[in-house]
């Protein structure tokens, strides 16, 4: 029972971190190009994680953990690419909720396959949480969804879901190193694209970062801390529960936008926000697992 609740606490820490990081990243992308925000936030997060590696004197990872770190970074980068391409071509009200729900479904299936079915109350909590994620991400808006529009958001959700699954499988004594490797893999892919694009623009966009850099650093730091909390949660608890609770981060982003930016929330988002509480109560409840 102790490890179950500690896993929930770590997952909530991941949700808070990811939610705050997404909020900061959203503000940063209003002033700076998205690719620049991603790469500099990832560099910041990687440096923070590397600093933690040095402080904790963590042993070097084995080849398998390095492989998992690289693979998770590739899937994370694939998810980001599909997400941003989808946002540029498809309605945001379709891309955000579909990618958010798909990114949860695959890790939940993997968790059930690896660890068996959770208690009935927790399964009900999963269902409510998925509904809440859909509503908080904008799924409550009236959008006509064409089948071809689902390809990119589905691919983005698949990429993020695979990232969650793969990074959760790293060795306990190599968590920080594996997260550093994942960021190195992502940076190595994005950096050449950024350099080519910015070289054409004579680096004019990089100048825009100077007034935005602290926000980008904060976003990168939150992403790094969130990833660390998630892996810790998945190592001591169930993968499906860790993913579900962590994926409630849109509630944090939405609340920050409402409180700080005074953005109005839709009825669907308010509904999703209150559903979160019921979902958490059911997920944190303990009961006899199903087999």
244-259: pLDDT as tens digits: 999 998 888 888 888 8
d(CA 163, CA 150): 20
Cα–Cα distance, 190 to 121 (Å, whole number): 42
Identify which of 171, 173, 245, 220 has the alpha carbon closest to the alpha carbon of residue 7: 245
pLDDT band at 10 (very low <50, low <70, confident <90, very high): very high
State the pLDDT at residue 240. Answer: 92
Radius of gyration for the chain, computed over Cα atoms and rounded to the nearest angstrom: 19
Instruction: Compute the CA torsion angle 16, 187, 172, 229 (nearest 10 deg).
Output: 0
Residue recorded with tokens 């940063």: 28
User: Which 3 state secondary structure label does DSSP give 146?
Assistant: coil
Average pLDDT, the chain: 84
Give the integer Cα–Cα distance in Å for 42 and 267: 34
């Amino acid at each position: 029972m102790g490890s179950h609740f500690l896993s929930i606490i770590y997952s909530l820490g991941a949700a808070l971190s990811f939610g705050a990081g997404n909020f900061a990243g959203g503000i940063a992308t209003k002033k700076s190009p998205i690719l620049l925000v991603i790469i500099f936030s990832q560099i910041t997060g990687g440096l923070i994680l590397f600093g933690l590696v040095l402080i904790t004197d963590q042993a070097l990872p084995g080849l398998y953990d390095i492989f998992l770190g690289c693979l998770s970074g590739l899937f994370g980068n694939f998810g980001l690419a599909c997400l941003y391409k989808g946002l540029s071509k498809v309605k945001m009200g379709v891309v955000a909720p579909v990618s958010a729900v798909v990114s949860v479904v695959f890790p939940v299936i993997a968790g059930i396959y690896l660890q068996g079915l959770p208690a009935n109350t927790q399964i009900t909590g999963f269902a409510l949480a998925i509904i809440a994620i859909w509503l908080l991400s904008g799924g409550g808006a009236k959008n006509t969804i064409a089948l071809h529009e689902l390809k990119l958001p589905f691919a983005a959700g698949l990429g993020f879901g695979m990232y969650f699954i793969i990074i959760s499988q790293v060795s306990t004594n190599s968590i920080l190193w594996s997260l550093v490797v994942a960021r190195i893999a992502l940076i190595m892919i994005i950096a050449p694209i950024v350099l080519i694009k910015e070289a054409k623009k004579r680096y004019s966009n990089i100048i825009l970062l100077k007034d935005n850099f602290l926000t980008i650093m904060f976003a990168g730091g939150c992403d790094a801390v969130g990833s660390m909390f998630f892996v810790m949660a998945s190592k001591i608890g169930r993968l499906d529960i860790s993913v579900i609770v962590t994926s409630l981060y849109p509630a944090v982003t939405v609340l920050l936008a409402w409180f700080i930016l005074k953005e109005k929330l839709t009825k669907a988002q308010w509904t999703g926000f209150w559903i979160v509480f019921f979902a958490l109560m059911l997920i944190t409840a303990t009961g006899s697992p199903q087999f």
